[in-house]
Amino acid sequence: MNNLLAVRIRNKMGDFSKGQKLIAKYIEEHYDKVAFMTASKLGATVGVSESTVVRFATEIGYTGYPELQQAMQEMIRNKLTSVQRMEVTASRIGNSDILDSVFNQDIDIIRRTMEETSHEDFYRSVDAIVAARKIYIMGARSSLALATFLSYYFTLIFENVLLVQSTSEGEIFEQMIRIDERDVVIGISFPRYSKKAVKALNFAHKRGATVIAITDSTLSPMAKDADNLLLARSDIASIVDSLVAPLSLINALIVTTALRKSGEVTQVFKRLEDIWDEYGVYEKVDDKSIEPAL
């Protein structure tokens, strides 16, 4: 268990009521489960009232139970196995409608991301990207989908963009061998964090490049080498990585950089439209052939 939380509980143990001691013991033994329990569920599990759980949280120095729960979630963010994620997901959804539950969780994740993302870091990142000689984009495992999406649009906006292939560490460093202080590296990773992405950002940092990390927490190993840290929440207790908030943040990066270079981008897209028409890239839909719904 997290040392700070353990110390807080140990220092207060002598002052706890009988019910609070039951909570403390259960947290020490099952903190990975408590991290996703509501206050009422924790109370029911150990046989105390919800108000006793809330008082316990404030007694050990938190503003309330949500802050205590967040502290426990931060502790296990990178430790949940796929099997544990399945168990937690099933427990959280219970008998609720799965579709509605997933939508509501994603809505909450985006809302929290809006509250926590630094506008200063965001616009400083945009400035660095626009001024960069070359833009390297790195994402491994499930984050590769985000990196590919960002690379696709940045390639339309900028001339020199490289999506770093992460097949092996040797290949990563070979692709980044010429990187220096004139370049920008955008690294993307969420729990469970990719060692390859962490090492790539460390390599770029040592070479003097501007490092932008898109990750979920200041405690993320991606954060230590980042010049600009863009935080986007992900659902750490889902069977799949919920990447709606990171994707929304990436959308904002694309839109902002495109507007910064609007003159050039407009000309590029005009040429692209001509090419797409000439080679029939997109299926044309005749609006007149679409019958209105009755």
Q: What pLDDT shows up at residue 82?
A: 58
Beta strands in 43-156 (DSSP E): 135-139
Cα 260 to Cα 131: distance, rounded to the nearest angstrom: 11
pLDDT, tens digit, for every residue of 207-224? Answer: 999 999 999 888 789 999
Q: How much is the pTM? A: 0.70
CATH code, 113-278 = 3.40.50.10490
Q: Are 228 and 125 in contact (CB under 8 A)?
A: yes
CATH topology of domain 3-76: Arc Repressor Mutant, subunit A (1.10.10)
Q: How confident is the model at residue 134 (pLDDT cuts 50, 70, 90)?
A: very high
pLDDT (tens digit per residue) in 156-195: 999 999 999 877 788 899 999 999 999 999 999 988 788 9
Cis amide linkage into residue 192, ω under 30° from 0: yes
Residues 191/77, Cβ–Cβ less than 8 Å: yes
- Say yes or no: do domains 3-76 and 113-278 share a fold: no
CA distance 152 to 147: 9
Contact partners, residue 162, CB within 8 Å, separation at least 6: 134, 135, 136, 137, 151, 175
pLDDT band at residue 14 under the 50/70/90 scheme = confident
Where do the structural domains in the chain lie, given as residue ranges?
A: 3-76, 113-278
Direct distance between the N- and C-terminal alpha carbons of the chain, in angstroms, rounded to an integer: 60
The model's confidence at residue 29, banded by pLDDT at 50, 70 and 90, is confident
Tell me the angle at which helices 244-260 and 119-131 cross, rounded to the nearest 10 degrees. 50
C-beta of residue 192 within 8 angstroms of C-beta of residue 221: no
Give the pLDDT confidence score for residue 168 in this predicted structure.
Answer: 79
Please enumerate in sequence order all residues whose Cβ is within 8 A of that of 153, keeping only pairs 6 or more positions apart, or say none.
Answer: 254, 258
Q: Is the dihedral of CA 200, 203, 205, 207 positive or negative?
A: negative
Place of tokens 């490289």: 162
User: Taking Cα atoms as reference points, which of 135, 146, 159 lies closest to residue 261?
Assistant: 159
Q: What is the dihedral sign for C-alpha 30, 36, 39, 40? A: negative
Q: How confident is the model at residue 83 (pLDDT cuts 50, 70, 90)?
A: low
48-57, 95-104, 117-126: least confidently modelled range:
95-104
Whose tokens are 């750490």? That residue is 236
pLDDT exceeds cutoff 90 at 52: yes
Angle between helices 3-12 and 18-34 (to 10 degrees): 170
Pairing of strands 184-188, 210-215: parallel
